[in-house]
Structure 1
Amino acid sequence: MAGVGTEKVFENDKVIVWNFTLAPGEETPIHTHEHAYMWYAIEGAPLQIFDRDGKDLGTLEVPTGAVYSLKYDNGFLEVLSEPGKGMRVPATHKARNAGSKPYREVLVEYKS
């Protein structure tokens, strides 16, 4: 499985910080989140989410400047913040930039 971001930029005993970028139409590899996390959208775009079998799970609109918080719960992730509050997806999935502009975020995983 791939990491949850494009480039790991920091790690200590409490957090892992990732840069994450996707060009228009680009997809992440299938990856698994094992921690609760948050992210800040530096450059927003709609992210289309797919499960490990390629089933379309919906599109999350991610505006520039948005902050998202997700909890990990027994193999699933749940969006705690707006927009997207209550959306649940499998912790193992992939995402595609469904927009026409590059997408960029900073993601912080909480180890505890």
Structure 2
Amino acid sequence: MAGVGSEKVFENDKVIVWNFVLAPGEETPVHTHTLSYMWYAIEGAPLHIFDENGGDLGIFDVPTGAIYSLKCENGYLEVLSEIGKGAKVPATHKARNEGSKPYREVLVEYKEQCA
């Protein structure tokens, strides 16, 4: 994993676009989001989220076709989209695919720094 995705596919002065794939049982390294972003779940899965110390933050079920918008502020990510609206997680975390199929998403970061 490079940054917040598996592969950076595009970047300009406004956005960074990432492809992100997580195999069943695979876990991301601990990473920090510094930009607000949105993502589209190409193939959903239940994602188990952990804080930077391995503390269990619960399972976030991401359905296929879902679109999420997250605001990065004061070290936290807040879900702005209807699915999961109001949920907050630390900007520094890791995730594990708890599903039986690969999880796939396209993630778009907005180049406005997290407050």
TM-score tier (shorter):
over 0.9
Residues 64-75 of structure 1: matches in 2 within 5 Å?
Answer: 64-75=64-75
CA distance in structure 2 between the partners assigned to 1:95 and 1:9 by the alignment: 21
Gaps of 5+ in 2: none
* SS of residue paired to 1:111: strand
CA distance in structure 2 between the partners assigned to 1:93 and 1:107 by the alignment: 16
Identity of aligned residues (%): 80
CA distance in structure 1 between the partners assigned to 2:17 and 2:59 by the alignment: 24
* SS of residue paired to 2:101: coil
On the 8 A contact 1:61/1:83 being kept in 2, the answer is no
What is residue 21 of structure 1 aligned with on the other side?
21
Residue 60, structure 1, aligned to residue 69, structure 2: no
What is residue 45 of structure 1 aligned with on the other side?
45
What is the Cα deviation at residue 82 of structure 1?
2.7
| CA-atom RMSD in angstroms | 1.2
What is the Cα deviation at residue 96 of structure 1?
0.5
CA distance in structure 1 between the partners assigned to 2:36 and 2:89 by the alignment: 13
The number of residue pairs the alignment matches comes to: 112
On the 8 A contact 1:71/1:77 being kept in 2, the answer is yes
CA distance in structure 1 between the partners assigned to 2:109 and 2:40 by the alignment: 12
TM-score w.r.t. the length of structure 2 is 0.94
Residue 36, structure 1, aligned to residue 36, structure 2: yes
* SS of residue paired to 2:29: coil
On the 8 A contact 1:7/1:20 being kept in 2, the answer is yes
Q: Alpha-carbon deviations, 1:18-53, whole Å to 9, x = none?
A: 000000110001100001000000000011110000
On the 8 A contact 1:40/1:105 being kept in 2, the answer is yes
What is the Cα deviation at residue 87 of structure 1?
1.1
What is residue 11 of structure 2 aligned with on the other side?
11
CA distance in structure 2 between the partners assigned to 1:87 and 1:96 by the alignment: 18
TM-score w.r.t. the length of structure 1 is 0.96
CA distance in structure 2 between the partners assigned to 1:69 and 1:13 by the alignment: 20
Q: Which runs of 4+ in 1 moved over 4 A?
A: none
